[in-house]
Amino acid sequence: MGEDAVILSEREVDGGVEVRAATDRAGAAAKGNEPFFLREARNLGHGRGADNPVFARVRDALLWHGAPQRFAERVANEGAGRRPGEFSTPEEAMAEGLSRMVTCDPIPARLDRDILLVGPPGAGRTSTAAKLTRRASVARTEITPLAADLDGSAGGEQLAAYLERERAQIRVAETPDALFSELRALRNESRRCVIDLPAINPFEGDDLASLGDLVAAIRAEPVLVLSAEGHPDDLAESARAFHRAGVRRAILTKLDVVRRRGGAIAALTSSGIAFSHLAITPFIGGGLVPAAPSRLAALLMEDARGDVIALRGAA
């Protein structure tokens, strides 16, 4: 252990002396407060859950990430539990378990239908509209960003700033009638658009009823923009409310600013909403990653930094 080792205790035992020592190795302080399950996951030795250590590590990872216990145990069982010994890493087992429970349905760069971004306050709808617009441009197609500034929150200015465009280059509708008029004009030109709708409180019945009426009137697909921040129960109730309003796909945002992501992933899964994209960086260019069980597992095991994951197939 080297000359820096410190003897903690010593005692006589049968046939000799037992000495306990420790050392503060160089660089140990730089490791931070990495959760115990992560240190275990890098070394597939025995320990807690010795009969099926991979099962235990998948379950413990999800619990540490704030996922409900039933969700954590089901993912672990669908992966490592069904085929013990088959997976070489907990991440592989988690990806298998998630693949049996979640639906991933990315939005194509070339839209076949107008997109209506909905969600609670602070989820990042405007930046997501900008990311979808930029992604289409990179894919050599075009979608028109449309700020539905129905609450007077200067959505057009924000969207223009994200896209580095002049305010006059952004379509803005400040009333429902103006929104219908803009949509008619775009459709007459055979142009698809992404609509940035004002925030909706999922716990207000009137807000959700208005959303249902709007979706029926404009015939656009409502896509939930949900932040990974927040209490797991609130996220679950919010996701279920938007599902009842007709939402079938979601973009999960702010994964770069939270450590515990299990609550949001469990919320969307339990609500029956499919994962469309993951927003792992704040950058507008390349800021959306198509959702897949393997990417969700990587986020939950924290085996890779978010910006590294974002570079794998970001579009």
Q: Tens digit of pLDDT for each residue in 145-182?
A: 999 988 777 778 888 888 887 776 788 998 989 999 99
Look up residue 6 and give its amino acid. V
pLDDT value at residue 282: 80
Residue whose C-alpha is closest to residue 286's, from 304, 306, 313, 261? 313
- pTM here? 0.79
Q: Looking at residue 281, what DSSP letter applies?
A: S
* DSSP letter string, 32-99: -S--HHHHHHTS----TTTTSHHHHHHHHHHHHTT--HHHHHHHHIIIIITSTT--SSHHHHHHHHHH
Q: Looking at residue 314, what DSSP letter applies?
A: -
Superfamily of domain 115-310: P-loop containing nucleotide triphosphate hydrolases (3.40.50.300)
> Is residue 159 within 8 Å of 126, Cβ to Cβ?
yes
d(CA 151, CA 138): 31
- pLDDT-wise least confident of 28-42, 135-149, 187-201, 213-227: 28-42
Label residue 168 exposed, middle or buried (CB < 10 Å: 0-12, 13-18, 19+). exposed
pLDDT value at residue 32: 45
For the chain, give me the number of helices (H) and strands (E)? 12, 10
In the chain, what percentage of residues exceed pLDDT 90?
A: 53
pLDDT value at residue 308: 45
Q: Is 251 left (phi over 0), alpha (psi -120 to 50) or beta?
A: beta
